[in-house]
Amino acid sequence: MRLPIQSGWLLVLPFLLLVGGLFLGPILNILWLSVTDPTPGLGNYAQLVTSDTLGRILWTTIRVCVICTVFSVLFGYSIAYAMVHAAGPTQSRMLSLLLVSFWISVLVRTFSWLMLLGRNGVVNSGLEALGIISQPIPFMRNELGVLIGMIHYMVPYAVLPILASMQSIDGRVVQASRSLGATGAQTLWRVYLPLTRAGVVAASLLVFIINLGFYVIPAVLGGGKVLMVAEYISVQVLVTLQWGTAAMLAALLLFGVLTLLFIMSRFMKLSTVFGGART
């Protein structure tokens, strides 16, 4: 006798129910709130075109996320490249340093940047003591500060998928390119980059999606001047109690992420993106 469903599903059924109840439920609730609070209708979504504040916040969010993604992936690519070409022991040392940075709390890292680059931070007071500058350089409490903090936080996330795709490259392909007369730059551009494209796409997606929801870093390092969506949602929920607007923005983020994933899935199989390897 055959079960109507594969028995393997029975094993994961309790977790499916848990996920459904604790994850999908609240999300549906948010979607529901966004079209019912304070009055039923699409009024919350209409704010997107009518409200200047919202428009500015969305633009800041997208701009900061794009810049951060570009730099994180650039740095991540260089670090991953150095790692795959390092000798065995150096490579594992580099990997453990990378993992250590995952374990350090975002708060600790954020306040460390303040101590380093703030008005009275190590760098500014050092430069002043040396007489190189007379006014402190405004690194922090602005968009630059937010970018520094976010890029620093995101680089390790960018490294891992890129590293995986680099490790799957057959070294002989690179040798072949050289033996055929290609310069280092040509080999990088025409062989190495295309073969690591899946890793770069995965890293960009991952970094961008995590960036969209950043809260602590913009709040602390932006000094209230860089208002991004996540922080604005929290203000709506905790301070002004406009749940409808908050729910609308949350729904917007959700759809943004899903749309990104969908667009990417048109270009390549998502499994290869997240597997990091070429097929």
Partner 1 sequence: MTGPGGSLHLRSLCKRYGSYPAVDSVDLQIERGEFLTLLGPSGSGKTTLLMMIAGFQDITSGDILLDGTSIANTPAEKRNFGMVFQGYALFPHMTVKDNIAYPLSVRKRPKAEIAARVAEMLDLVRLTPFAKRFPKELSGGQQQRVALARALCFAPPVLLLDEPLGALDKKLRIEVQAQLKDIHQRVGTTFVYVTHDQEEALSMSDRIVIMQNGRIEQVGTPSDLYQQPKTAFAASFLGKSNFLRRDGAVFALRPEKIDLAPAGAGQGANKVSGAVQSVTYFGAVLKYQVAVPGMDPIEVDVDAWRGGAALPEGARVDLTWSETAAVRLTDQTL
* Chain residues that interact with partner 1, rule: CB under 8 A: 170, 172-173, 175-183, 186, 190-191, 194-195, 278
Indicate the residue among 56 and 178 with the shorter CB distance to partner 1: 178
Q: What is the DSSP string of the chain?
A: ---SS-THHHHHHHHHHHHIIIIIHHHHHHHHHHHHSSSSSSHHHHHHHH-HHHHHHHHHHHHHHHHHHHHHHHHHHHHHHHHHHS-HHHHHHHHHHHHHHHHS-HHHHHHHHHHHHSTTSHHHHHHHHTTS-SS----SSSHHHHHHHHHHHHHHHHHHHHHHHHHTS-HHHHHHHHHTT--HHHHIIIIIHHHTHHHHHHHHHHHHHHHHT--HHHHHHSTTSS--HHHHHHHHHHTS--HHHHHHHHHHHHHHHHHHHHHHHHHS-HHHHHH-S--
Query: Smallest gap, in angstroms, from Cβ of residue 83 to partner 1?
Result: 22
Indicate the residue among 93 and 190 with the shorter CB distance to partner 1: 190
Indicate the residue among 186 and 242 with the shorter CB distance to partner 1: 186
Indicate the residue among 26 and 184 with the shorter CB distance to partner 1: 184
Query: Smallest gap, in angstroms, from Cβ of residue 261 to partner 1?
Result: 23
Query: Smallest gap, in angstroms, from Cβ of residue 166 to partner 1?
Result: 14
Query: Smallest gap, in angstroms, from Cβ of residue 164 to partner 1?
Result: 16
Query: Smallest gap, in angstroms, from Cβ of residue 172 to partner 1?
Result: 4
Indicate the residue among 95 and 268 with the shorter CB distance to partner 1: 268
Indicate the residue among 172 and 266 with the shorter CB distance to partner 1: 172
Query: Smallest gap, in angstroms, from Cβ of residue 184 to partner 1?
Result: 8
Indicate the residue among 107 and 173 with the shorter CB distance to partner 1: 173
Angle at 114 between CA 113 and CA 115, to 5 degrees: 90
Query: Smallest gap, in angstroms, from Cβ of residue 84 to partner 1?
Result: 17
